[in-house]
Structure 1
Amino acid sequence: MKLKYLLLAAAFACPVSAYAEDATPAKDGQSETAATQTAQPTKRAFTTGVARGRDLLDSAISTSALDEAEIEKFAPRSVSEIFRNIPGMRSEAYAGEGYSSISIRGLPIALGGAKFLQLQEDGMPVLEFGDIGFGQADQFLRADLTLSQVQAIRGGSASTFSSNSPGGVINLISKTGEEQGGAVELTTGLDYETYRMDFDYGGKLSDSVRFNVGGFYRQGEGPRATGYDAYKGGQLKFNITKTFDGGYIRLYAKFLDDKSPNYSQTPLRVTGTNADPHYANVAGFDARSDTMYSRYLPSNISMNENNQLTRYDYTDGMHSKVKSVGGEAQFELGEWTINERFRYSDISGAFRGTFLAPSLTGPASVVMGIWGGPGATLSYANGPNAGQVIANPSTLNGNGLVSSTTLFDADLNDLSNVTNDFRASRVWDLAGGKLTTTVGFYKAGQTIDTTWHFSSVFQEVKGGGEAAMLNLTSAGGVPLTQNGFYGFASSFFGNTRRNIYDVNYSVNAPYASLNYHAGKLAIGGSIRYDFGTARGQVFGADLGGGRKGLTSYDVNGDGVISAAETRVAIYPLTTPAPVNYDYDYLSYSLGVNYRIAEQLSVFGRYSRGGRANADRILYSNFISPTDGSLVRKDAAYDPVTQAEGGLKFRGQDAELYVTGFWAKTKEHNIGLDRSYRAYGVELEGSIKKGPFRLNAGATYTKAKITADALVAATVGNVPKHQADLIFQATPQFETERFTIGANFVGTTSSYAGDNNALKLPGYTLVNGFAQYRLTDRVQLTVNANNLFNKLAIIDAQDTSLPATGIVQARVANGRTVSASVRFDF
């Protein structure tokens, strides 16, 4: 039936970027993206995170670009799996279509998301802050056939040409109809359930008007077993461009409504030592292809933002909804080139995931002893064995494990943002060279309106999407759970984090740059002044002051208060805490580039940027719960200082870019007040000989914690998850009719925690691809993600070897093989 719908949709479907320094504007009204795509190889321009497009060998920046054709070969199952192919980028792609931890060049990842890195779509931020709790920027991005290119800039001028992006910018650039025609692609999983249709079409409506429209729809269980269709939804994008002498006007829109699971922790068995651990799957549960989502975990029951009992559909997973409209224009005003960009995005959704508490998920005897006391018993709360007592919990499912699962459940009521970027540039002839001046003003508003309503359940550890919920009864026969719920609160970690956020952030940033290019030498500098406000209120017992967070409530309406019903979390709605503070910081960047020869240049750059802190410092000692002011002024933003220098070579058949870097940063976060330092070297290159081509990159980093106001013992340690070496390589062999190759992504070992105890082993993931072109317009593709089914451990909740021998870990998806057919027309 699903395949029939997919084919029907296919039949129905058949009938830019942010700017480089010192260059001539795009001609004939093209966007700078189009100008980049049509440029000759020796004059390639880069247009993201800089002032105006210019050949990379004349620019003092570190950049990478991935084209649509190359991205398709990586077999990415999410945008974060695309990002891990960018040198210098640490993209922990385990969670599915969002909620990935992403960082760059040794900058820390404390609580997930993309804090020091900004994710953009067509030159504008997806969210102003990339690490919003349960609403991170990559959750609202999807790659489909409308994607033309992914550009990334690391450090450098990203600090001054975008707000809140001191580490860099990743920009997903859409097609805008430069080429007449389109494509339809049908994809299905060969060893997992997915059915997907992508389409794209663009072209000219007249000599001066062009358009592009496309998107995707998909449905299926997905790469891991959940027991239901965990993936369901799609995206539609449209843009139209009017060109004229000296410029263009473009309008665009995007609609995204997509549900996907969040692959969080799963139990793994660990033996050995902290320094040399050995990880393995537990019996009956494969961490690569199973998940704690289950057909027997259909819903969460909890109080909503009005303290009314509500049932939440847990099959929603990460539900991402975006409705955005925007426009951009470029035109000449005398000697000046004017650029204007605007976008409004109505963003909302939900996050429903599972969190396994460390040391509280493990052998049944341990879990029963902690929560039920001596002599406690277990029984099935639902599923085919509902009501049956588990006589021997130590042999349950062959692994004897019970999961104390916290249902991380949040409504993303409103994450809307509005952004506007206006800039003007002029090129002056000066002393035999060209001086480019740019001035601009950026203004944005970001809403964070979310409601967190966690609950606590017991589950068996069983694969196939068939894990039933469990009931716990005391030795005296007293039920301690209700239908598998131990509490309608975060009972497994102190009944905390029952929060409502209702805050609005404003961002204002005037900026300017000067760049002088004469002969082989280019010198430039830019400056940006960010200032903004945080206004609103938050609710939660974590704020203290006598605020009540628990109550008793007759959840099932039987007139009797059970033990579980005494653990019902509520919001202290009558005692909100205000949020009311201002912030400001200055960013600057200075760079010099020298073109030694046509194929070779060297550069150096020194920059200072900042990242304004948003919801991650609320409910902390940095904000006064009385008047909402900053208790610590320095917590309003976190500065990042960077230096980089390198060499760029671009020959006829080979390219090589080598960059040394140094960075230091401060970070304020929930339970965190710390400083870091990192340095290293980054390599990126390619070679092409006949039908053979190799693209490769590697980043060597040495990082350490230099100060910690809360946990002094971490000073001198390596930040968690920071490996010495990360790398990627894509060799391929291409003829007129077929292409075959592989994509290697890997990392050396790192630590699970900042205490530098438990090691996470290094790994290499191999993704294979084969393409066969039946005709010029029909192509068959087979992709294999994690071809050798590697157990790649990306994160562990436990930071030291647990006595139970069970860790709660996040791992990469196991092998998934898909096949697609693409029709171009």
Structure 2
Amino acid sequence: MNRTSRFTRVTLAAAIAAVLMSGTVMAQDTATQTPAKKQAQAGSSASNPQSLNQVVITGNAAALGLRKIDASYSITTASYAEIKEKNPVSTADLLKMSPGVFPESSGGQTGANIEVAGFPGGGDAPFVTVQMNGSPIYPASTLSFLANSSMFRLDDTIDRVETVQGGPAVLYGNGQPGLTANFILKQGTDVPSGDIGLTVGSEGMQRLDGFYGFPLGHNWYGSIGGFWRKSDGVRDPQFSADKGGQLTATLAHDLDNGSVMFYARALHDKNQFVTDTPILNPSKGQFDNYPGFSPLTGTFGSNADRYETIATTPCATAGCTPGGVGVDLADGRGADIHMIGGNLDLDFGSGWSLNDKFNFTGGNMDTRSFFSTGQNPTSLADFIAGKEAADGLPTDLTASATYTNGKPADMNENVTTQGLWYVNKNIRSFSNEVHLSKELFDGNTLTFGNYTAVYSAKDTWFLGNNMLLQAKNNPNPIVVNLSDGATTYALTDPQGFTSGSSFALHEDWNATNTAFFVTDSWKLDNWLFDAGVRVEHQSANGTLTNNASGDLDNNPNTLYNNNASYLTGDTTKLNYSKSAPSWTIGANYTFNDHSSAYARVNDGIHFPAFDDLRGLPTTPVQKIHNMEVGYKYQNKYLYVDVAAYRRLFYGVPYTITTDNGQQSFTYGSATKGVNFQATIRPTDNFSIALTGDYMDGHYTNYKGCVSYQTQSGGTACDSITGMQLQRQPKFQYRITPAYHIPAAWGDIKFWATYEHVGDRYGDLIEQQPLGNYYDVSAGILANVGTHWTYTLRGTNLTNQIGITEGNSRLFGFASGGGVILARSIEGREVNFQVKYEF
């Protein structure tokens, strides 16, 4: 077992043991609300979390936050209890609680693409920032093989989450114009309290959760908690699909004029990543099971292909063995990350206050996973014939095909190739944000601030490495040799690789972002006005090791490595330096204690990330213009938050990674739409929650044309201008009826969620229709007595096929012979948890 994993597991077990021993002797009084606890739980509202009187701290400079009814922007919140009721399969999946956010929760725990309505991402999550206690966990929201959500796991240490789309968030933190999800940690209280939970799942999951908050004396408070789990996965690769844990601790102190809090988190988690798989595509937007490969439970992972060696370095003499690196698919696309951070709040009197928050993140975010090559399955005999023709070999060769276990392969069975990608990614970051506020006069507060982030990424990639596999679940690799009796041509190596790396990369990047901002808010009768401006500068420099292509073993008859990409050792330097402004103006009018309306205009920016600069060193700063109006209303029976928006983008870079490298270009977009969320409570015990989005978004300002394969098999070249935003549904919604039954022994709650995701296209030129889908999840939660909670939850209960992406290695038509390479949501999963709270 990895040393870090062992430490996390043993420490968590010790903490939980201490919880159990102390919980039996400590009083069960309600925790005293200290100043630090009040701030940490400012957004909690056990009686009605969707309350316009709820105080939120994300997206504003107010020292104690703002009530929702006063905020001139839309903000969505959830307590930890609500998070559980949303049945998220990952951190990314939870973010669909914010209207218009569509996470492609089909690849596993990590690596999800996350689309925000009207923000032309097209992959990864460039317009989503995950914060912990107000600090971005990594300043760049997305790098290749890394999104913020992949570095964050949900557990009992979370008190609540607040999500904001754009608006005033463009002024703070990393200036995210898209979605900012701020997770607030639980802290200790005057009276010790906590929980311990055990969860088992239908996919072979075993999970241990725990949290303990406690006083340390003299206004000091501590907490510790986390989880450990292992799982075979809904897509069982014959080894642990998910295995690891997380440990989080906080230390807080109440001062006479404020508070200070520190936190630390260690995450060590290995997760299987699932890429496109073969799916029947009989007509546009219609999908079904491919024989031998379920889109809901199938995976190319298996014990037969788990351990491999990738050739990376050419050797000098004919027939020599190239240098290589070992791969264990069980390492997956996980995280080995450590974070420390803190918050300081001070009130100096006379209207002066200061807030400072910092975060340090460091560790590895590596990837060992199969990725689609874009080639549809075909019979083994046809595959061999195609390779013979492509490589210009004689036509009278005799083929010998075996599995890697030595057994003969069936020439009539369907096969496919998958690229085994190897990515090492080491990251480091430090960010600090300080606010200095002064109340100029009654109702008017001026804030000056600075955000500074220093961060780096060091990557080594070997992409390609195509392996010949059976086109079925848990396949065997296939070894193929061709012979004319005198000469043998190795079509694959002894492991089944048909090619070496198609793209070798080593890069070392460092960047600094510094932003200064000033904001002012003015409460005037029923009006609350706010305005602010931010100027940010980014400087980045990178060192890229050059690459070349050639024969790795100086043997032309070993066809599998005759044109492999490898690193040469010499380097290229890249530098980038640019400044850009952001600004926002908003106004909110409170009609009464139950309703308010607002309007906002903002200009945001999105600086290029390291991958953008590598693909196009002159990448412009993206500019986002957003206009929105909204209305909020609440009474005993109804809660409504609806907003209409118009979003314009300029200078958007797009980079696609294929087996042949990367292609980059720029464009713009224009979108109009409506976000809505509502809760109806016809009785005290029954509620219906609705959240969703309608958006009409298209690409603009692209002057060239993109070459692609048409559905008739030909080629064409067309502009993307006017095409629907890639992978984004025009209409999506989620509806959740819930019923609560009080009882003498406790209470019980039932809920179910119906989710509808509308028609989308997998590419930029509308040649890959992904159709629409629905899924159903449900849960039952029973509180028994004062200590025990039992929860039964299930996702995709009706086993719906829901395509989230088409063949991401292609621009155009992806289906051939009624088959598409695509990725579906996972099949049914049910889990049951027993929790003891004290």
TM-score (norm: length of structure 1): 0.89
User: In 2, distance between residues paired with 1:520 and 1:478?
Assistant: 81
Cα offset, 1:377, TM superposition: 4.0
Deviations 1:394-451 (CA, angstroms, capped at 9, x unpaired): xx2xxxx211111122011x21111111111122325xxx111111111101211111
Q: Indicate conservation of the 8 Å contact 2:110/2:334, yes or no.
A: no
Match of 1:682 in 2: 675
Deviations 1:5-36 (CA, angstroms, capped at 9, x unpaired): 99978657633xxxxxxxxxx98345633233
User: In 2, distance between residues paired with 1:376 and 1:288?
Assistant: 38
1:619–1:372 Cα change, 3 Å: farther
Cα offset, 1:758, TM superposition: 2.9
Deviations 1:704-726 (CA, angstroms, capped at 9, x unpaired): 01122443521111122121111
Code of the aligned partner of 1:33: A
User: In 1, distance between residues paired with 2:308 and 2:490?
Assistant: 19
Task: Describe the SS at the equivalent of 1:228.
Answer: coil
Of 254, 261, 270, which residue of structure 2 is paired with 1:259?
270
Of 325, 329, 345, which residue of structure 2 is paired with 1:330?
345
User: In 2, distance between residues paired with 1:348 and 1:31?
Assistant: 35
Of 287, 295, 308, which residue of structure 2 is paired with 1:287?
295
1:636–1:739 Cα change, 3 Å: same
User: In 2, distance between residues paired with 1:378 and 1:197?
Assistant: 50
Deviations 1:295-340 (CA, angstroms, capped at 9, x unpaired): 1112342356999422122210013011111221111224311111
Match of 1:545 in 2: none
1:418–1:501 Cα change, 3 Å: same
User: In 2, distance between residues paired with 1:42 and 1:311?
Assistant: 55
Q: Indicate conservation of the 8 Å contact 2:703/2:719, yes or no.
A: no
Q: Which region of structure 1 is more displaced relative to structure 2, 69-78 or 517-526?
A: 69-78
User: In 2, distance between residues paired with 1:366 and 1:14?
Assistant: 63
1:680–1:552 Cα change, 3 Å: same
Match of 2:423 in 1: 410
1:725–1:821 Cα change, 3 Å: same
Cα offset, 1:734, TM superposition: 1.1
User: In 1, distance between residues paired with 2:271 and 2:261?
Assistant: 31
Task: Describe the SS at the equivalent of 1:139.
Answer: helix
Cα offset, 1:602, TM superposition: 0.9
User: In 1, distance between residues paired with 2:388 and 2:563?
Assistant: 15
User: In 1, distance between residues paired with 2:693 and 2:589?
Assistant: 24
1:164–1:293 Cα change, 3 Å: farther
Of 673, 693, 697, which residue of structure 2 is paired with 1:699?
693
Code of the aligned partner of 1:302: I
Q: Indicate conservation of the 8 Å contact 1:224/1:813, yes or no.
A: yes
User: In 2, distance between residues paired with 1:806 and 1:588?
Assistant: 48
User: In 2, distance between residues paired with 1:305 and 1:533?
Assistant: 33
User: In 2, distance between residues paired with 1:646 and 1:98?
Assistant: 33
1:28–1:230 Cα change, 3 Å: closer
1:741 partnered with 2:751? yes
Structure 2 regions of 5+ residues with no counterpart?
Answer: 1-8, 22-32, 315-321, 390-394, 656-663, 706-717
Code of the aligned partner of 2:577: D
1:37 partnered with 2:6? no
1:741–1:205 Cα change, 3 Å: same
Deviations 1:584-632 (CA, angstroms, capped at 9, x unpaired): 1100000011112221111100000111111222342x32xxxxxxxx3
Cα offset, 1:366, TM superposition: 4.5
Match of 1:506 in 2: 512
Q: Indicate conservation of the 8 Å contact 2:222/2:251, yes or no.
A: yes
**Equivalent pairs, count:** 764
1:163 partnered with 2:170? no
Q: Indicate conservation of the 8 Å contact 2:469/2:496, yes or no.
A: no
Q: Which region of structure 1 is more displaced relative to structure 2, 371-380 or 207-216?
A: 371-380
Code of the aligned partner of 1:649: Y
Counterparts of residues 50-199 of structure 1 (less than 5 Å)? 50-52=60-62, 53-110=65-122, 112-178=123-189, 180-190=192-202, 192-199=203-210
Cα offset, 1:360, TM superposition: 4.6
User: In 1, distance between residues paired with 2:149 and 2:613?
Assistant: 22
Match of 2:714 in 1: none
1:321 partnered with 2:339? no
Counterparts of residues 237-248 of structure 1 (less than 5 Å)? 237-248=248-259
Task: Describe the SS at the equivalent of 2:467.
Answer: strand
Of 782, 788, 802, which residue of structure 1 is paired with 2:798?
788
User: In 2, distance between residues paired with 1:8 and 1:438?
Assistant: 45
Code of the aligned partner of 2:20: C
Q: Indicate conservation of the 8 Å contact 1:30/1:247, yes or no.
A: no
Cα offset, 1:807, TM superposition: 1.1
Q: Which region of structure 1 is more displaced relative to structure 2, 747-756 or 560-569?
A: 560-569
Task: Describe the SS at the equivalent of 1:762.
Answer: strand
Of 690, 702, 710, which residue of structure 2 is paired with 1:708?
702
Cα offset, 1:550, TM superposition: 3.0
Match of 1:601 in 2: 596
User: In 1, distance between residues paired with 2:459 and 2:94?
Assistant: 28
User: In 2, distance between residues paired with 1:268 and 1:153?
Assistant: 36
1:282–1:103 Cα change, 3 Å: closer
Task: Describe the SS at the equivalent of 2:153.
Answer: coil
Match of 1:629 in 2: none
Cα offset, 1:359, TM superposition: 3.4
Code of the aligned partner of 1:210: Y
1:778 partnered with 2:788? yes
Q: Indicate conservation of the 8 Å contact 2:272/2:332, yes or no.
A: yes
User: In 2, distance between residues paired with 1:296 and 1:95?
Assistant: 21
Match of 2:531 in 1: 525
Match of 2:444 in 1: 435
User: In 2, distance between residues paired with 1:225 and 1:669?
Assistant: 34
Match of 1:573 in 2: 569
User: In 2, distance between residues paired with 1:38 and 1:734?
Assistant: 17
TM-score (norm: length of structure 2): 0.87
Cα offset, 1:511, TM superposition: 0.8
User: In 1, distance between residues paired with 2:286 and 2:67?
Assistant: 48
1:349–1:616 Cα change, 3 Å: closer
User: In 1, distance between residues paired with 2:740 and 2:545?
Assistant: 58
* Pairwise CA RMSD: 2.4
Deviations 1:333-376 (CA, angstroms, capped at 9, x unpaired): 24311111112111213111111222354444543333234677
Deviations 1:103-150 (CA, angstroms, capped at 9, x unpaired): 32221122x222122121221112211220112211111001111111
Match of 2:551 in 1: 551
Match of 1:358 in 2: 374
Match of 1:370 in 2: 386
User: In 2, distance between residues paired with 1:271 and 1:263?
Assistant: 23
Of 242, 266, 269, which residue of structure 2 is paired with 1:231?
242
1:38–1:480 Cα change, 3 Å: closer
Task: Describe the SS at the equivalent of 1:802.
Answer: coil
Counterparts of residues 213-228 of structure 1 (less than 5 Å)? 213-228=224-239
Cα offset, 1:46, TM superposition: 1.4
Q: Indicate conservation of the 8 Å contact 2:489/2:557, yes or no.
A: no
Of 616, 620, 623, which residue of structure 2 is paired with 1:639?
623
Cα offset, 1:188, TM superposition: 0.8
Task: Describe the SS at the equivalent of 2:94.
Answer: helix
Q: Indicate conservation of the 8 Å contact 1:550/1:568, yes or no.
A: yes
Match of 1:18 in 2: none
Code of the aligned partner of 2:167: G
Of 456, 462, 466, which residue of structure 2 is paired with 1:453?
462
Q: Indicate conservation of the 8 Å contact 1:232/1:260, yes or no.
A: yes
Match of 1:627 in 2: none
1:803–1:326 Cα change, 3 Å: closer
1:800 partnered with 2:813? yes
User: In 1, distance between residues paired with 2:784 and 2:44?
Assistant: 27
